[in-house]
Homo-oligomer: A and B are copies of this chain.
Amino acid sequence: MFIRLGKRSIQQFRHFCSGTGASSSNDKYVPRRALLYVPASNPKMLDKAPKLQVDCLVLELEDGVALTAKAEARQNIRKYLDNWPQQHACHEVGVRVNSVSSGLLADDVTELAKSSKLPDAFMVPKIDSVDDLNTVWKTFRSAYGDQRIRNTPTRMVIWIESARALLDMPQILKAASTLHKSAQFFRTDAVVFGSDDYCADIGATRSNDATEIMYARQHFVACCKAYGMQAIDAVYIDYKDVEGLKKQCEQGKSWGFNGKQVIHPTQIGTVQDCFLPSAERIDWATELIKEFEQHQRGGKGAFTFRGHMIDRPLLLQAKNVVELVRNVKK
């Protein structure tokens, strides 16, 4: 690789490297090695949520909450927000609302907006098109108002779950970035592959080795990374098969995924261990940043490291590795 810093971008690069960009509360790197769902219709599980040792916690209004329990689940989450626990063991608590096509989204968001507090992230399933994304934006804006949308470091996480969505990912992720920059809408920094719904949509059968979604997963990663977002891998359905889970974690990690959905708390440990960067990778990242800072002090705009010229995306990856490790080890 080689320096990818045109003259125009050097200033941005320095700004980025000075830390005023990446480390603002809105742009920080959030570990999401494992992402666990907690049905918001279950008060007992909500009570336990603050203690769950998982990177990313999804308070769930969509799947796993029956239609008849939606209203109550919404109120449970509003109360959870009102009485926001002093400490969570996780790095992110998100609320997953219902999809645009469900017709339930506006009711979800209206109830949540009654709380003066916002979760770390809003999570929206079944984004099938740029139109869906625009509807999400309008719904949130209408319920929360411009000011809260613009002044709050809340993030967005979206789900890709259909063939149409998978094919249109480049347009969808581009629109998500544009919305964030132009409308100052919540920043989308992670995308989750809804593998079960995807398979149902194309009529495929889920298997443990996941050959049926190989193209989908690798295309998914390419799209996420092309737009600078984390890629969260498919659920491993056979939750009793720890070896199989481990194998699929390692595969996903080596393909570029940043984390994985888990359907059972027993999967958390295996998944989070796997998605922790290796000692080799941590060393690479630490040394790269150190050398970069030395070169910065020397006033140079580009540098080589271990035989490669270092570009901005690579420096960002190194910073993310270090930030991930720092967060999960504290």
Contacts and interface: CB of A to CB of B under 8 A. Distances in A.
Interface string A179-202: 000000000000000001101111
B63 A1 contact: yes
Interface residues of A, number: 68
Contact of A2 (B62, B218, B313): B62
B214 A163 contact: no
Given A255-B212, A304-B66, A163 B203 contact: no
10 smallest beta-carbon distances between A and B, as pairs: A215-B218, A4-B101, A163-B226, A202-B256, A204-B256, A164-B226, A202-B225, A205-B254, A203-B256, A163-B225
Number of copies of this chain that the complex holds: 3
Interface of A is mostly: helix
Contact of A102 (B3, B199, B212): B3
Contacts of A255: 202, 204, 211-212
Contacts of A134: none
Given A200-B317, A215-B214, A254-B207, A222 B101 contact: no
Which of A200, A225, A253, A317 has most B Cβ within 10 Å?
Answer: A225
Nearest to A207: B254
